[in-house]
Amino acid sequence: MKARTLFDKLWDSHVVEKLPNGTSVLYIDRHLVHEVTSPQAFEGLRMSHRRLRHPEATLAVIDHNVPTTDRDQPIAEEQSRQQIEALQRNVKEFDVPFIPLLSDKQGIVHVVGPEQGVSLPGMTIVCGDSHTSTHGALGALAFGIGTSEVEHVMATQTLLQKPAKNLKIEIEGTPKVGITAKDIILAVIGKIGTAGGTGHVIEFTGSVVRNMDMAGRMTLCNMAIEAGARAGLVAPDEITFEYIKGRPFAPKAKDFEQAVAYWRTLATDEGAHYDRVVQININDLEPMITWGNSPEDVIPITGKVPDPAEIADESQRKRKQRMLEYMGLKPGQPIKGVKIDAIFIGSCTNSRIEDLRIAAQIAKGRKVADHVWALVVPGSGLIKKQAEAEGLDKIFKEAGFEWREAGCSMCLAMNPDRLQPGQRCASTSNRNFEGRQGPDSRTHLVSPAMAAAAAIKGELTDVREMM
Amino acid sequence: MEKFDILSAIAAPLLEANIDTDKIIPARFLKTIQRSGLGKFAFYAQRYDENGNENKDFILNREPYRHAQILITYENFGCGSSREHAPWALLDMGIRCVIAPSFADIFFNNSFKNGILPIVLPRAICDQLVEDCKLGANARITIDLKKQQIIRPNGETIDFDVDPLRKQLLLDGMDDIAQTLQYVKEIDQFEEKRKENQPWFPSIQSKELNP
Ligand code: SF4
């Protein structure tokens, strides 16, 4: 048989029917649902008198709209409450497994899926959310879909899809102290651009990825979408199996062994063809930070804000000039030392226990600068509990960070956690678009360690000086 | 879904690359639980000033472009978040066709599913169409989906590609689900086979979530 990539195998094993135009009816194993992109899909089912084909392959959570304080109070914002209540009604009507707000298991959908063992290697996983690519870290084909596709999966447990191209990103070298998966993925996006992965599924390979823990792999795959890719992938290996073992919805005992035997067959075959290969060596990589309004606008913390005047293409030049204006930065200015108003540690990119541990190490025994609002938001209730068991919450609180309940929080301006116009934030999330953290907010994407360091210094800073 | 066959309409140029879905509709307007009525929020940050009044400089607020049903724009249109509110908002403000040198994948797919036709054409041709846009209200651009042709105001035609299946669905105004349910037997068989080959494959039981 022809040598195949991990993506090829995931794809081939889920094709139900090939249609004449090259589209396939692709079987979907897991459908994750949240309150923002699902109401219109449920509305569609109801209107067309269709049923939800497999509730037991579906899991619903609330994360985008939820406040991260005072959970026992009714939700103040009218529209947030409406979306949440709509989901609560819909999961009852269609019998969908649902994690309620007050459960320990509640959290960001892309944190909850792997944590519960709902997302597993070899699966196809979809959610009406672009960062579904996160689950690819387990060796699953996971991608974001729109609401009419959400309805399509609900009604048919399939999607109409065309195969993607294979892009291999090979990451080699030895990271210096202070370099995390976040810095690596920012560097990758800086290198290939936000359209660099368009039409492709990225498989992350190389010794750096093989040695990386699951949290780091999830950070990589999470941001594969910011490189324009349809999905990110890491081949499942011992680290993956160890992570999955014992999770609530993972196969148990003999079933687990059978599953692992299958999962081992998924890795890319020797000699399989990739449409493109990008190699990156991280020996000299420094902590990375974005300066503009696209994740590709990234520089090392020791670097300077680029000068758009040097860009030949006019529309590109204008765009970057507008970014500088929006971000309140000057060409040639060192990024280090720029004063900030807030930091946010959280989001499906960087809210796992590993992320919180690194940030706590920096925060320990230090104080958040007086003018900085510092928010730490665990990705799930279980992570929060774990962090509290390790005493991380105390470290944060003593240093002056706010310790919150799980949710998307300040990753996007949909819940009470948001910036005021003009405020500048070092954020561990994945998007620095205009208005993302509130109207006219300014976002610099960084790793958790860098965000914690910025909180303490009160300005964008090099975390290595504090290690 | 409304059928799409021949569209003859005013086209508006949006001369920017990388227009992301946050620009098309900012996140704070995603809280609706319905599909309709989002048109008034489209391009919010550019379309309105801080008091919510129309910004006269923005092209879609100007005559004749405020009646545009076609957008001509630049690379990577619809990048960023996968929100389908973006095509809903465009559709609700009357847009049925977007022409650009490239689109973000998810937006491209979502457009078809909502009866909007995205057309990929080289930048040089987009620029020609931009010139056509400037001719004013009488300068209608015609999209003939059946023939896969754009007819410029001067009568010249430009051919474009479109996936044949998607074309048919647009022409019929038929939704994807109805189409896929023609394969329900194959889906059943797929599930049977998996039960045999992967008996360990777990399902999600509600009771484990709410003990
Ligand atoms: S944390 Fe941010 S990126 Fe992740 S699902 Fe929530 S809103 Fe989306």
* Inter-chain touch B106–A146, beta carbons under 8 Å: yes
CATH number of B6-173: 3.20.19.10
Other Cβ atoms closer than 10 A to A20:
7
Average pLDDT over residues A170-189: 97
Rounded Cα–Cα distance for residues B205 and A426 (Å):
40
Write down the pLDDT at residue A22: 87
Q: Is a pLDDT exceeding 60 seen at residue B211?
A: no
Q: What percent of chain A has pLDDT over 90?
A: 94
Adjacency order of strands within the sheet including B97-100: B11-14, B70-73, B97-100, B117-120
Reported as a pLDDT band with limits 50, 70 and 90, residue A243 is very high
Q: Are A442 and A426 in contact (CB under 8 A)?
A: no
Q: Which of B114, B179, B204 sits opposite A249 (nearest CB)?
A: B204
Reported as a pLDDT band with limits 50, 70 and 90, residue B129 is very high
Between the CA of B98 and the centroid of ligand 1 the distance, in Å, is 28
* Total-model pTM: 0.87
Q: Using a 6 Å cutoff on CB, does residue A58 contact ligand 1?
A: no
pLDDT tens readout for residues A72-90: 888 888 889 999 999 999 9
Rounded Cα–Cα distance for residues A418 and A394 (Å):
24
Average pLDDT over residues A188-202: 94
CA-wise closest residue to B46 among B91, B82, B15: B15
- For residue A68, the 8-state DSSP code is S
CA-wise closest residue to A380 among A418, A409, A343, A400: A409
Tokens coding A195: 């359209």
Rounded Cα–Cα distance for residues A128 and A64 (Å):
12
Average pLDDT over residues B168-186: 91
Tokens coding A222: 């999470």
* Inter-chain touch A56–B205, beta carbons under 8 Å: yes
Q: Give B-chain residues touching A417 at CB under 8 angstroms.
A: none
Rounded Cα–Cα distance for residues A282 and A186 (Å):
12
Query: Looking at CA atoms only, how far is residue B18 from chain A in angstroms?
Result: 9
- What phi and psi, each to the nearest 5 degrees, are found at residue A444? -115, 120
Other Cβ atoms closer than 10 A to A5:
23
Q: Give the lowest-confidence range in A2-6, A201-205, A334-338, B1-5.
A: B1-5
- Mutation probe of ligand 1 site: the residue of A408, A427, A428 with most atoms within 8 A of C-beta: A408
Rounded Cα–Cα distance for residues A250 and A230 (Å):
26
Interface test with A, best of B16, B23, B109, B177 (most A CBs within 10 A): B177
Q: Are A17 and A24 in contact (CB under 8 A)?
A: yes
Contacting residues for A25 by C-beta, under 8 A, at least 6 apart:
A15, A16, A17, A19, A156, A158, A159, A160, B180, B183, B186, B187
Between the CA of B169 and the centroid of ligand 1 the distance, in Å, is 33
Atom of ligand 1 nearest to the CA of A347: 1
Average pLDDT over residues A90-112: 96
- Mutation probe of ligand 1 site: the residue of A412, A417, A418, A445 with most atoms within 8 A of C-beta: A412
Beta strands, E only, chain B = 6-9, 11-14, 70-73, 97-100, 117-120, 141-144, 149-151, 157-159
* Inter-chain touch A103–B163, beta carbons under 8 Å: no
Interface test with B, best of A28, A118, A147, A264 (most B CBs within 10 A): A147
Rounded Cα–Cα distance for residues A44 and A161 (Å):
21
Report yes or no: A121 at the B interface, CB cutoff 8 Å.
no
Report yes or no: A99 at the B interface, CB cutoff 8 Å.
yes
Write down the pLDDT at residue B34: 82
Reported as a pLDDT band with limits 50, 70 and 90, residue B210 is low
Q: Could you give the C-alpha distances from A186 to A179, A229, A320, B150, in angstroms and in order? A: 11, 14, 18, 40
* Domain boundaries along the sequence of chain B: 6-173, 175-211
Query: Looking at CA atoms only, how far is residue A183 from chain B in angstroms?
Result: 20
Q: Give A-chain residues touching B205 at CB under 8 angstroms.
A: 56, 97
Helix ranges (H only) for A174-252 are 181-192, 207-210, 214-222, 238-244
State the number of CA atoms in the 13 A half-sphere of B7 facing the CB.
25
Helix-, strand-, coil-residue percentages of chain A, each rounded to 5: 40, 20, 45
Q: How many helices (H) and strands (E) does chain A have?
A: 15, 18
Rounded Cα–Cα distance for residues B17 and B101 (Å):
9
Write down the pLDDT at residue A48: 84
Between the CA of A251 and the centroid of ligand 1 the distance, in Å, is 28
Write down the pLDDT at residue A293: 96
Reported as a pLDDT band with limits 50, 70 and 90, residue B80 is confident
Query: Looking at CA atoms only, how far is residue A57 from chain B in angstroms?
Result: 6
pLDDT tens readout for residues A248-282: 999 999 999 999 999 999 999 999 999 999 999 99
Q: What's the alpha-carbon Rg for chain B, to the nearest Å?
A: 20
Average pLDDT over residues A327-344: 98
Q: How does DSSP assign A264-279, residue by residue?
A: GGGSPPTT---SEEEE
A47-62 in b/e form (b: 16+ CB < 10 A) is: eeebebbbbebbbbbb
Q: Using a 6 Å cutoff on CB, does residue A347 contact ligand 1?
A: yes
pLDDT tens readout for residues B107-121: 998 899 889 999 999
Rounded Cα–Cα distance for residues A308 and A355 (Å):
34
Report yes or no: A199 at the B interface, CB cutoff 8 Å.
yes
Q: Which of A82, A117, A258 sits opposite B33 (nearest CB)?
A: A82
* Inter-chain touch B180–A258, beta carbons under 8 Å: no
User: Residue B115, exposed/middle/buried by CB under 10 A (0-12, 13-18, 19+)?
Assistant: middle
Write down the pLDDT at residue B137: 79
Q: Using a 6 Å cutoff on CB, does residue A429 contact ligand 1?
A: yes
pLDDT tens readout for residues A392-441: 999 999 999 999 999 999 999 889 999 999 999 999 999 999 999 999 99
A113-149 in b/e form (b: 16+ CB < 10 A) is: bbbbbbbbbbbbbbbbbbbbbbbbbbbbbbbbbbbbb
Report yes or no: A332 at the B interface, CB cutoff 8 Å.
no
Report yes or no: A437 at the B interface, CB cutoff 8 Å.
no
What one-letter code names the amino acid at A187? A
Q: Is a pLDDT exceeding 60 seen at residue B201?
A: yes
Q: What's the alpha-carbon Rg for chain A, to the nearest Å?
A: 21
Query: Looking at CA atoms only, how far is residue A360 from chain B in angstroms?
Result: 30
Query: Looking at CA atoms only, how far is residue B86 from chain A in angstroms?
Result: 10
Q: Give A-chain residues touching B210 at CB under 8 angstroms.
A: 98, 100, 103
pLDDT tens readout for residues A269-317: 999 999 999 999 999 999 999 999 999 999 999 999 999 999 999 989 9
